[in-house]
Structure 1
Amino acid sequence: MSIRKKIIISNLLVLFVPLVLLLSMGFLWLQTAGQKYWQPIEEMYEDKNGVISAQNLIYAYQEELWNTNWRELENIDEEVMSGGELRQSPEMIRLRKELTDLGYHFMITLNDETLYANVSEAEWSQVEKLIGPIPEQANSVTVGNEEVSVIRCSFYEDNEECSIIAISNGEGNVLGSKSYLQKYVIPYIWIFGICTILISVLVNACCSRWISSLIIPPMKEIRRGMQKVKSGVLDNEIPVLRQDELGEVCEEFNEMQRQLKRSKEEQTKYETYRKELISGISHDLRTPLTTIKGYVGGILDGIADTEEKQKKYLLAVQTRTGDLENLVNQLSSYNKMENHMFRYEMEQTDLKEFVREYLEENEEFIRENKLDFLLSAEEGVKLAIDRSAFKRILDNLLTNSVRYREKDRSHIEITIQKRTDRIFWSVADDGPGVAENCLEKIFESFCRLDEARTHCSEGSGLGLAIVKRIVADHGGTIYARDRMGLEICMEFPGNKENQD
């Protein structure tokens, strides 16, 4: 069953269930305790010979009695009067017809002068037997028995008196045996009740259609959106038609769709990264293993037939084994950092003093690899760092400078500056540099610009990826610039926690 039908049925139930219960309770009440209350009401409104109905008609047409041109009627000749014709307005004609239908004949007088009468002598005789002559001083008289009823009503205006006397002998009463309550009141109650129900049903239909127009379109849009998501389409957002609860649902659906799209993109990116990672690890393991296998085979096959050759082969095996060990250590460290398992020992450090101590500790490495340094650092720039992790940053950057240089000597410049609320730290060399479109890629794991990757000694491909991870874990950002060589720039927040 559709939502629209459910809304209509629920609204009808809200209307008719209380109504049926109310009618049932009323019926039971009338059949039991209510009977003693209802019967007196019917007796009070019992309309014998239509007296109550006739009184109501006379009072209802009181205005028309005065609006009749009685002066014109005074000039009517005897023949017209004897014929019982009454030249009146349509309202007075309806009064005569309705009184006649109730079994009444009547007479109209103006200042005791008879203007119209259709009462027979026999009816006057019955009245005289019942009450005698009608008192002239009586303004209103209502007398009756089972055979005859008499009604007199007088109206006054500008010292003139207009009276109407209505007489019924019980014949031709259209009410029959029904009371006034049964004839007029109850039918009107039924008409009022039926009209109320019809209006309620109409209002219910309009309200149901209005509510459906608020609910159905957003639901259809959500359904279409779900079907598209099911088919893999995540770019088509559903329109938010209203700013209400359903509008919030549509907005949440769009947000879910955007989240799914981001998740799918991240999953695709992760799959690509995983494949490249596996490919890189496989290649970097295969190259030294192949070398080791070749040298060991040469020793076993007797190719290294002298002690000098055997020593040379063993040294080569030792070098390649060191490369493998270095690769495994790099992978282990990178994995811990990526999974946030690496624990940093943070301490407030003067960066200029830290770099000086590092250069002194690695003086032999610097001399052997012919490195010239220029340290341009401001005094008193401090940062909370893990000293061993930052030594690894410098190790990796200097190793890359030596590994990829094209000259015998290298010039390296280290810059440390305090910039407003940031700390800037850069390491630049005078090597061959990197193409502009590759500057962002160099921080990816196993990314080396030599796609052939034929020399394991050129690195594991994790150095700059580890550097980026360390910088990020310290709340900083890293990027590269090509300025007559490669410059690695790092920026850290210079908040109060990082100052004295």
Structure 2
Amino acid sequence: MKRSNKTRNLKIATRISIATLASIITSVVMVIAAILIFRSLLPDIYGISRVESNEYSIINQLQWAQTISSINRELADNGSDEVIKEDLSGITKSISELGSKIYISKNGKKYFANTEKNEIKALASTITDTSGKRNMYYYGKNGLVIKSHIKTQNGKFAINIVNPNYTVSDYSLRNSLQSFKLLFTGRSGFMILMALLIIIVSNLIMSLITSRTITAPIKKLSDGANEIAGGNLDYHIDYDSTNEIGVTVKSINDMTDKLKYSIERQSEMAQSRKEMTAGIAHDLRTPLTSIKGYVEGLRDGIANTPKKQERYLQTIYSSALDMEKLLDELLTLSKLESGNTQLDLIKIDINEYLTEYLAEKENKWQTGNITIKYSGPNIKSKAYVMLDPNRFSRVLNNIISNAVKYSSKARKPAINISLEIYDKSIIIAISDNGIGISEENLKHIFDIFYRADQARTRVHDGSGLGLAVCKEIVELHQGHIWATSKEGHGTTIMISLNREDA
């Protein structure tokens, strides 16, 4: 069963503080319990529940103290006088057998006694001076005198005990010291040792519990770090907490995810560079091969007529233009990707801009037998965007050129440009009726040097950089570009731009 999150989320400093406090409380509770048990068993353990001798010793003094305490407790009882007196007879039996005289009064009147008041008073005065002393415990060579008073709900009691046979000798003192030593080096020493052992064991248990709550997640952390260091970047350390270890585990898991993504990204970029290098080499080799072949034809006299020579020279010139165009697009893309390109942005009405753009290009497309239709909003509709007209013109040129290059041979090329205006954005859609793009190829059309037709035999049919340049320019405008297509029916390129206030 899993522990609650409240326990798992405790900070290490809090855990240690709680463990220390719990250890102290546990130790105190256990020692108090041991003392209470010891106290309840003390009379039986040390044989002090009854007086056994008229000779002074530490044990004997404890026995007398225990006897007086028992008498006091009995007098404080709320039972009947008959029951109390019967119990007092049992308590005082041992001291009576040793010759002790007992007189207990209640509210100044005789309550329980084995002698008379005057007799015990006279006997006490022969042992020591009892005048003016409310309570006293006298242990002397010529006898013992005890006077004690207690006030209860039943009344005021005075306890007087005198034993003329009690003695204190030098031997008794030596025996008392020996008994005192034995008391604390024997059973009492054992009890003290037990108390110390209880404290040690309780602290040890609490330390082990605390250690386990700290070392277990640290071991998970260590094992996870070893897995990750071994190259297993799919490994996630399973420890969910908000304490210091939990925060560290989360950071390591996040770092592993980012490292994995970085490595995958670097691998993709390395593969992209390889493909780009191959694409550049391929697309440059084609016009270079053409130039080389036709130059050799001129040099070797194969082009032996003015008309043939003119055709050779035109082919060389066209191939040189293809190379120039390729290098120009490469340079443009490089500048765009490096972030060094600055746009000349102006606020412009996009509807008016598209109308003027199409009017400017109309003659060129009519000559090329291409139908282009603009489905814009009402001429009075205004939608302002921040635009670099020259850069954005290149986007439109590249998209339309692509549509023409991949038109269907079965029908006349037709391109439709539409504009939709929304509260926060505008969307330009450029649709053609060409051969379309497969779903597999569609997601790659904005990649560098990507062409659905992988033959790459004619550079003038497209370098594979046009749409990549479009993507970079649109994103510099804080816009977004995407495509939809259906094979055999055509492709639609869509561009969204942020709309500006008028």
Matched position secondary structure for 1:448: coil
What is the distance in 2 between the residues matched to 1:71 and 1:382?
Answer: 113
Structure-to-structure mapping, 1:105-120, within 5 angstroms: 106-109=100-103, 115=114
> Which residue of 2 is the match for residue 227 of structure 1?
226
> Which residue of 2 is the match for residue 395 of structure 1?
397
What is the distance in 2 between the residues matched to 1:135 and 1:351?
Answer: 122
**Is the 2:100–2:161 Cα contact (8 Å) retained in structure 1?**
yes
| Residues 158 and 412 (structure 1), Cα distance of their counterparts in 2 relative to 1, 3 Å cut | closer
Instruction: Find the partner of 1:451 among 454, 459, 466.
Output: 454
Matched position secondary structure for 2:451: coil
Instruction: Find the partner of 1:418 among 417, 421, 444.
Output: 421
Matched position secondary structure for 1:234: coil
Matched position secondary structure for 1:331: helix
Instruction: Find the partner of 2:69 among 60, 82, 91.
Output: 60
What is the distance in 2 between the residues matched to 1:214 and 1:309?
Answer: 90
Structure-to-structure mapping, 1:46-445, within 5 angstroms: 53=62, 56-63=65-72, 89=90, 92=92, 96=95, 106-109=100-103, 115=114, 131=126, 142=137, 147-153=141-147, 163-167=160-164, 168-171=166-169, 173=172, 176=175, 178=177, 197-378=196-377, 379-407=381-409, 409-445=412-448
Query: CA-to-partner distance for each residue in 1:398-432, whole Å, 9 max, x for gaps?
Result: 22122222348422211111034221101112222
What is the distance in 2 between the residues matched to 1:477 and 1:293?
Answer: 42
Query: CA-to-partner distance for each residue in 1:210-253, whole Å, 9 max, x for gaps?
Result: 32232222212222222221232222322234342322222222
- Gapped runs of 5+ residues in structure 2? 1-11, 25-55, 105-109
**Is the 2:239–2:246 Cα contact (8 Å) retained in structure 1?**
yes
1:346 Cα offset (Å): 0.6
1:133 Cα offset (Å): 9.3
1:350 Cα offset (Å): 1.5
| Residues 320 and 62 (structure 1), Cα distance of their counterparts in 2 relative to 1, 3 Å cut | same
| Residues 193 and 54 (structure 1), Cα distance of their counterparts in 2 relative to 1, 3 Å cut | closer
What is the distance in 2 between the residues matched to 1:143 and 1:376?
Answer: 125
What is the distance in 1 between the residues matched to 2:156 and 2:475?
Answer: 111
Query: CA-to-partner distance for each residue in 1:171-226, whole Å, 9 max, x for gaps?
Result: 46377364999898999998897666444433422332232232222212222222
What is the distance in 1 between the residues matched to 2:364 and 2:422?
Answer: 32
**Is the 1:139–1:152 Cα contact (8 Å) retained in structure 2?**
no
What is the distance in 2 between the residues matched to 1:482 and 1:160?
Answer: 113
**Is the 2:298–2:309 Cα contact (8 Å) retained in structure 1?**
yes
**Is the 2:414–2:433 Cα contact (8 Å) retained in structure 1?**
yes
What is the distance in 2 between the residues matched to 1:449 and 1:198?
Answer: 83
| Residues 311 and 137 (structure 1), Cα distance of their counterparts in 2 relative to 1, 3 Å cut | closer
Deviates more, 1:152-161 or 1:411-420: 152-161
| Residues 143 and 481 (structure 1), Cα distance of their counterparts in 2 relative to 1, 3 Å cut | closer
Matched position secondary structure for 2:311: helix
1:319 Cα offset (Å): 1.0
| Residues 140 and 349 (structure 1), Cα distance of their counterparts in 2 relative to 1, 3 Å cut | closer
For normalisation by structure 2, the TM-score amounts to: 0.72
> Which residue of 1 is the match for residue 490 of structure 2?
485
**Is the 1:140–1:151 Cα contact (8 Å) retained in structure 2?**
no
What is the distance in 1 between the residues matched to 2:156 and 2:231?
Answer: 96
| Residues 169 and 391 (structure 1), Cα distance of their counterparts in 2 relative to 1, 3 Å cut | same
What is the distance in 1 between the residues matched to 2:452 and 2:130?
Answer: 132
Query: CA-to-partner distance for each residue in 1:85-126, whole Å, 9 max, x for gaps?
Result: x9964x557x65xx99xxx8633356599749xxxxxxx9xx
Matched position secondary structure for 2:100: strand
Matched position secondary structure for 2:484: strand
What is the distance in 2 between the residues matched to 1:139 and 1:372?
Answer: 130
1:366 Cα offset (Å): 1.8
What is the distance in 2 between the residues matched to 1:307 and 1:441?
Answer: 46
**Is the 2:239–2:249 Cα contact (8 Å) retained in structure 1?**
yes
**Is the 1:304–1:310 Cα contact (8 Å) retained in structure 2?**
yes
| Residues 131 and 477 (structure 1), Cα distance of their counterparts in 2 relative to 1, 3 Å cut | same
> Which residue of 2 is the match for residue 25 of structure 1?
none
1:320 Cα offset (Å): 0.9
- Gapped runs of 5+ residues in structure 1? 16-47, 76-85, 117-123
Matched position secondary structure for 1:349: strand
| Residues 319 and 205 (structure 1), Cα distance of their counterparts in 2 relative to 1, 3 Å cut | same
2:303 corresponds to which letter in structure 1?
A
Matched position secondary structure for 2:218: helix
What is the distance in 2 between the residues matched to 1:138 and 1:227?
Answer: 83
1:348 Cα offset (Å): 0.9
1:169 corresponds to which letter in structure 2?
T
> Which residue of 1 is the match for residue 8 of structure 2?
none
Count residues with an aligned counterpart. 431
**Is the 1:477–1:492 Cα contact (8 Å) retained in structure 2?**
yes
* Identity fraction in percent: 26
> Which residue of 2 is the match for residue 23 of structure 1?
none
Matched position secondary structure for 1:480: strand
Matched position secondary structure for 1:374: strand
Instruction: Find the partner of 2:463 among 460, 467, 470.
Output: 460
Matched position secondary structure for 2:382: coil
| Residues 406 and 474 (structure 1), Cα distance of their counterparts in 2 relative to 1, 3 Å cut | same
What is the distance in 2 between the residues matched to 1:386 and 1:173?
Answer: 117
Structure-to-structure mapping, 1:1-12, within 5 angstroms: none
Instruction: Find the partner of 2:479 among 476, 480, 488.
Output: 476
What is the distance in 1 between the residues matched to 2:485 and 2:137?
Answer: 121
| Residues 307 and 471 (structure 1), Cα distance of their counterparts in 2 relative to 1, 3 Å cut | same
| Residues 260 and 106 (structure 1), Cα distance of their counterparts in 2 relative to 1, 3 Å cut | same
| Residues 189 and 277 (structure 1), Cα distance of their counterparts in 2 relative to 1, 3 Å cut | farther
| Residues 364 and 112 (structure 1), Cα distance of their counterparts in 2 relative to 1, 3 Å cut | closer
**Is the 1:218–1:250 Cα contact (8 Å) retained in structure 2?**
no
1:166 corresponds to which letter in structure 2?
N
1:415 corresponds to which letter in structure 2?
S
Query: CA-to-partner distance for each residue in 1:454-497, whole Å, 9 max, x for gaps?
Result: 11121110001111111122122212122632211111233xxx
Deviates more, 1:178-187 or 1:417-426: 178-187
| Residues 413 and 144 (structure 1), Cα distance of their counterparts in 2 relative to 1, 3 Å cut | closer
> Which residue of 1 is the match for residue 48 of structure 2?
none
**Is the 1:369–1:402 Cα contact (8 Å) retained in structure 2?**
no
What is the distance in 2 between the residues matched to 1:338 and 1:432?
Answer: 30
